[in-house]
Amino acid sequence: MSRLFLKAFCIPAGFAIVSTSQAAANERIIPTVFEAGHFYATPTALNGQKVRLLADTGGAGFGGLYVLKKSAVSRLSATLTTCKLDDFNIDVVRSVSFLPDAGLAPVTTTRPCMADAMSVDNKVGDDTFDGMLGAGYLARFVVTFDYPIHQLKVEADDWRPAAGAEQIPLIFPHNAQGKRESDFPRVDLTIDGAPVHLLLDTGATAFPTPAGLAAQQIETVNGEGVTSYITKSVFDRWHSHHPEWQVVEHGDHLMPDTRIIMVPEVYFGTARVGPVWFTERPDKNFGPKGMSMWMGQTVVGAAGANIYGKLKITIDYAREALWLSPPKNRNIK
């Protein structure tokens, strides 16, 4: 969940984000830049133009489509058209052609109107990116976020987890027939001895104030870094039960009066991570009319790259699992 706030334009309510997971025939290293904990894909079109797409497991898109702003569509000399579906219409982009060795992994299964991307207004988000590789696109692959070496890779179709890799379940909603209805993954962390249900969100973004930056000591680029989110009600409960946990008032400036809280330790699978800063979010952002609506279950925030950003993780959408490559030290700081 990045600057494309709350996935508001993801798809109209009631339309299932049905996944047909697929892996590429051969592995593909996606051209990227890595900035302050975020991966930005930077494919180059045949006309020489590059775009900058945030790789965001909690981001927008559906049916195998990634997201492009209309300004990027123009630069790519691509075709913008209206895709008429049963319940709604959506602007889509066709004929996006990238250089073979500097492009994206192609989605070859059926897509809405056989488009490549969905298009959104230029005003969505900020001007630091041209769109995103969100849940609807990433879920067609097995994707490795290798944070230590800053590499984003789509794995080959014969990929298998390395010996010693830890499997962490990802939870997706399914209908009565067992078909997946959304590509937003839930991951359960253990905090203060209890499970905490969160969106797995590689795009969770911090906008620290000077006070927040001084406390967190995180890397930022253009004032942006990585964080994890927690709802106000859980934040208040943590603060009440643990007054010793550091809280910074006005620690983040994306929303007025946003607090941040330092949790001493978080268990991500068996990996002990900490301390971890969580940024406060209104309950409604993740409630039944917010993010939880897309996940078929209640989540109370998002697990961002300040938790797993020193690890190599592989998101295996077909098996509904995250594979954590064995770190040298199970205590991650």
Separation CA 144–CA 153 (nearest Å):
5
Give the pLDDT confidence score for residue 42 in this predicted structure.
97
Asked if residue 279 lies in contact with residue 260, where contact means CB atoms within 8 angstroms, the answer is: yes
Residues for the chain: how many in total? Answer: 333
Q: Report residue 24's pLDDT band, with 50, 70 and 90 as the boundaries.
A: low
From 102, 99, 100, select the one nearest 32 (Cα to Cα): 102
DSSP-assigned beta bridge partners for residue 267: 190, 272
Mean pLDDT over residues 256-279, rounded? Answer: 96
E-assigned strand segments in 139-227: 142-146, 151-154, 166-169, 186-191, 194-200, 205-206, 225-226
For the domain 5-154, what is the CATH code?
2.40.70
From 291, 61, 305, 128, select the one nearest 205 (Cα to Cα): 305
Give the pLDDT confidence score for residue 21 in this predicted structure.
47
Q: Report residue 19's pLDDT band, with 50, 70 and 90 as the boundaries.
A: very low
Domain ranges for the chain, please list them.
5-154, 166-332
pTM of the model: 0.92
From 308, 295, 301, 324, select the one nearest 196 (Cα to Cα): 301
94-114: pLDDT as tens digits? 888 899 889 999 998 889 999
What percent of the chain shows pLDDT beyond 70?
Answer: 89
From 20, 31, 182, select the one nearest 110 (Cα to Cα): 20
Q: Do domains 5-154 and 166-332 have the same CATH topology?
A: yes
Helices (H), the chain: 70-75, 135-138, 210-216, 232-241, 283-286, 291-295, 305-308
Lookup: tokens for 123: 């005003």
Q: Which long-range contacts (CB under 8 A, 24 or more apart) does 235-244 make?
A: 235/259, 235/261, 235/278, 235/280, 238/192, 238/263, 241/192, 242/192
DSSP string covering 3-49: SSGGGTTSS-TT---------BSS-EEEPEEEETTEEEE--BBTTS-
Separation CA 258–CA 271 (nearest Å):
29
Lookup: tokens for 308: 């797993």
Residue 5, phi then psi, degrees to nearest 5: -65, 125
Mean pLDDT over residues 204-222, rounded? Answer: 97
What would be the CATH architecture of the domain defined by 166-332?
Beta Barrel (2.40)
Helices (H), 163-313: 210-216, 232-241, 283-286, 291-295, 305-308
Q: Which residue has the tokens 């890799």?
A: 165
Residue 8 has pLDDT above 50, yes or no: no
The alpha-carbon radius of gyration of the chain (Å, integer) is 19
Mean pLDDT over residues 148-177, rounded? Answer: 94
